Amino acid sequence: MKRVRKAVFPVAGLGTRFLPATKAMPKEMLTVVDRPLIQYAVEEALEAGIEQMIFVTGRNKTALEDHFDVAYELEATMRGRGKSLAVLESTRLPAGSIASVRQQEPLGLGHAVWCARELVGDEPFAVLLPDDLMVGTPGCLAQMVAAYEQVGGNIVCTEEVPHERTASYGIVTPGVRDGRLTEVRGLVEKPKPEEAPSNLGIVGRYILQPEVMGILDAKEKGAGGEIQLTDAMAKLIGDQPFHGLTVDAERHDCGDKVGFVKANLALALKRDDVAPAIRAFLQDIA
C-alpha cells in the first residue's frame, strides 16, 4: 500500500459568506487567535506525515504562499531590534514542500481537486479544507492516516450532523459500523432532510485514491451547478474500499461567521497566554 505523502488544500473559493472581509484577502488567511486558518491545516498535515503541500489557489491568493515564505525585511528588522524569530518557526517549511496551481474559475470543490491532478500523480492523497478547523490529539488527519493504514482505499472524515442541516453536507449511506469506522455504501451531496440516507455528514478531510481524478475528468456538474467532489467519490464505491471515520476531534466551521467567532473563543481558552484574560472578559459580559 502506498503511503499518503501529498495533501491538496483547495483554497480558491470566493468566501462570499465572509464578505467584506474576503473581498481582497483569502478566507484561509482569517486569523484564529494568532495564526491563519491555512497554518492550522498545514501543521495538521505535517503532523500526519505529509511531505508535499499542494495549494489550489485563485486570484488574490498570493498571501497564502507568502505566509510560508521567508520574509527578509520583517526578519531583518526583527533581528535588528533584538526580537526572537521563534514565533515564525512554524511558518517555515522544508524548501520545495509547497507547490501551487491555479483554479482559474471557482467551478466547485471537485474541479479544484482536479486542478491538482498532475501534481498528485499516481498516488493516494489527502484533501484538507482549511475552513474546517479540527482540534484533536493526535490531529484529525493523523487519525485518518492511522485508519488508512488498516483499511486502505478511500476515507472521508464524518460527523453526525443535525438532521435539519443535511442540505449543507455530503451525506453517507452507511453500511457496517466498526467502532469509529463506517463502511460507505453511497454518497449524496446536500440532500434535503427528507431525502437524506442518514445524518452522517462529510467534513473537510479526505484520503482519496488517484482514480478519483479520472472520474473528475468528465467535469459533470452536480448540486448547485458545481463540479462536486462527493459525486466523483460516489463512483469509486464498489471498486475500492470506502469508509467514513468519525475522528476524536473538535470541529469549528470557520467558513461561517458564528463558527469562526466560536473557534476564536474556544482556541483562546486553550492557550495559557490569553486564556485568563478572555475567561475574565467572558465572565464580565455574561
Positions touching ligand UTP (CB under 6 A) are: 10-18, 27, 56, 103, 106-109, 111-112, 129, 131, 255
Taking the least distance from each CB to ligand UTP, the nearer of 16 and 31 is 16
Taking the least distance from each CB to ligand UTP, the nearer of 13 and 170 is 13
Taking the least distance from each CB to ligand UTP, the nearer of 58 and 139 is 58
- The letter for the amino acid at 28 is E
Give CA separation, 256 vs 57, 86, 133, 209, in Å: 20, 31, 11, 29
Least distance in angstroms from the C-beta of 67 to ligand UTP: 15
Least distance in angstroms from the C-beta of 128 to ligand UTP: 9
**DSSP secondary structure string for all residues of 261-278:** HHHHHHHHTT-TTTHHHH
Least distance in angstroms from the C-beta of 204 to ligand UTP: 7
CA distance 167 to 224: 11
Torsions phi, psi for 210 (to 5 deg)? -65, -20
The residue at minimum Cβ distance from ligand UTP is 13
Least distance in angstroms from the C-beta of 113 to ligand UTP: 8
Taking the least distance from each CB to ligand UTP, the nearer of 109 and 267 is 109
The DSSP symbol for 47 reads: H
Least distance in angstroms from the C-beta of 273 to ligand UTP: 29
**DSSP secondary structure string for all residues of 150-205:** HH-SEEEEEEE--GGGGGGSEEEEEEEEETTEEEEEEEEES--GGG-S-SEEEEEE
Taking the least distance from each CB to ligand UTP, the nearer of 13 and 201 is 13
Is residue 102 within 8 Å of 58, Cβ to Cβ? Answer: yes
CA distance 93 to 112: 23
Give residues with Cβ within 8 angstroms of 92, minimum separation 6: 68, 70
Taking the least distance from each CB to ligand UTP, the nearer of 15 and 153 is 15
Taking the least distance from each CB to ligand UTP, the nearer of 109 and 268 is 109
Least distance in angstroms from the C-beta of 80 to ligand UTP: 37
Q: For strand 250-253 and strand 132-135, is the pairing parallel, antiparallel, or unpaired? A: antiparallel
Least distance in angstroms from the C-beta of 216 to ligand UTP: 12
Give the largest Cα separation in the chain, rounded. Answer: 63
Q: Which three cell numbers stand for residue 210?
A: 488517484
Least distance in angstroms from the C-beta of 91 to ligand UTP: 20
Give residues with Cβ within 8 angstroms of 263, minimum separation 6: 32, 133, 252, 254
Helix (H) or strand (E) holding 8: strand 6-10
Taking the least distance from each CB to ligand UTP, the nearer of 249 and 268 is 249
